[in-house]
Structure 1
Amino acid sequence: MKRLYIAGHRGMVGGAILRNFEARIADGEEIELVTRTSSELDLTDQQGVRDFMQTEKPDVVILAAAKVGGIHANNTYPADFIYENMMIECNVIHQAFDAGVRRLLQLGSSCIYPKGIPQPMREDALLTGTLEPTNEPYAIAKIAGIKLCESYNRQHGTDYRSVMPTNLYGPGDNFHPENSHVLPALIRRFHEAVQQGCEEVAIWGTGKPMREFLHVNDMAAASLFVLDIDKKTYDANTRPMLSHINVGSGTDISIGDLAQLVAKISGFQGRISFDTSKPDGTMRKLMDVSRLASMGWTARIGLEEGIAETYRWFLNNRDRFRT
């Protein structure tokens, strides 16, 4: 029986991955899942992670735990973002290796790529330019995670893989009014505008930046696809270049059009304005997903369908989002 530890199983992505493995177990696959909540195991605590790995001895580790947030959160808490994410990566990856774990999958972020690079962003664009300043600390931490996996593979012959998702959304997302990403923030804002009878909703920035979105269920499916492929296939698609693979939908949408779509789904019929005093961030972020497509995986959930499902989930769980 394969023993598998999912770090961050209560997060949006980790939860979707957990559900996938639970479905596999229900279908008869022999997997023993190991999980810990943040209160049970602080992943920034080196000794705690070491004791856990030495005791549990998982065969496979999926690192989906991270401190995440939108532009406001990244600008407000840069020290927290770089420190906590680097500690999580260093502790989980090194202590997994020290406990004999040979296979590991680490989830990163599209913010690892420099600003102003040609679109769509290829994997080999990493470290070719200056990062977007609004989330540079988080991006540096995520780059460090890629390099940790790459370095352990080079020095110790491990099979540690990294996938870099685009902007994710879906059930389990963070809908906090200040610390959430753009799509869940829009869902909550338009919902509350409908409930309060507002005639106008103001959106940060100009509405012109283009963004790509991927439903979390697609991300979970892609993660398991990359984890399951044989080492020869994975190596052929990542080496001698950098050892990570992009995961995305391959299409993007302007923030303005996204706001219109969310307004439609939520039933908002008022006016949408744009607060140009707020930052836009990078003007376009689209992943080149040709490598993953050539390996046999593409996204299946359309954006409107995915947002509608996410909005239904928000409505059914809105008591959790009172603050």
Structure 2
Amino acid sequence: MTTYNNLVLLGFSLILVLPFLSNAQLSDSFYTKTCPSVLDIVKSNVRSAINRDKRMGASLLRLFFHDCFVSGCDAGVLLDDNLPTIDSEKNARPNRNSIRGFELIDKIKDAVDKACPGPIVSCSDILAITARDSVVELGGPSWSVLLGRRDARTANRNDAENLPSPFADLPELIKNFSDKGFTAKEMVVLSGAHSVGVARCVLFRDHLYNGTNIENLVATARKSKCPSNGQDDNLSSMDHQSPNRFGNNYFQALVNRRGLLHSDQELFNGGSTDDMVRVYSKDSDKFYTDFANAMIKLGNVKPLTLAQGEIRKNCRKLN
């Protein structure tokens, strides 16, 4: 990122964060005294994992979103089944065969706890840091991650069933995000995370074969990996030109009617968000700045602090 963009990002971030701090009590210096090495440990592990598996960056970003968008950023998505106490969010329909990276989170948690016994650092904070570091490793913007979250003592599978759908039309998407406190503009910019990662055939087949808002040449190329019947688990890159580069290529694809998911192309389909998509397709610096600020806001969705929750020793189960 340019120096100019870093300065703009910092200024916008401070403006955005101040209203949340009094409630969330999060701080970018939360572990300065208790675990000063946490950021370096997470960064090193994320970098190594992405070097081995380019998909991992998108997976960690998705994991953070699927955590925060349910009951808040509380690491509820990491809990395994332990009925009747825990009905895992991992079993919710949008999460099955969709989210991954749990073993890496376990590895990072072990490394952090070894350096800072206690435990000191929460699983929810580790998720927040890995999301930022993943974006940076894939060429995207950085931001100051606010820390101090505690981990939930329960999961919310019912709410996880209502994560935004890849089959949703624009009004439904706007309502999904509005219900969580996000504007339509923030919904559009957060959707830019789909510049990286992959999707299963079952999630975009209908868009390929029955949709009217996808470019024919692109649809034809995609069909080779997603036949009209079967092969539901076949994977296709969200962006077929630069699948491992985080950038405004996602919005450029939408303008050219190359969105892989129905919900993606709905952002540029003659509706109220078309102009936003056009702006981001032409201005990567603005996308980076707005994305970083939206991620800070996402990380401030209902965090547990102080006496709320716990700091799990094992991210998969309660203490």
Structure 1 length normalisation: TM-score? 0.28
Structure 2 length normalisation: TM-score? 0.28
User: Which of 1 and 2 has higher RCO (CA within 8 Å, sep 6+)?
Assistant: 2
- Structure with a larger share of its residues in helix: 2
- Structure with a larger share of its residues in strand: 1
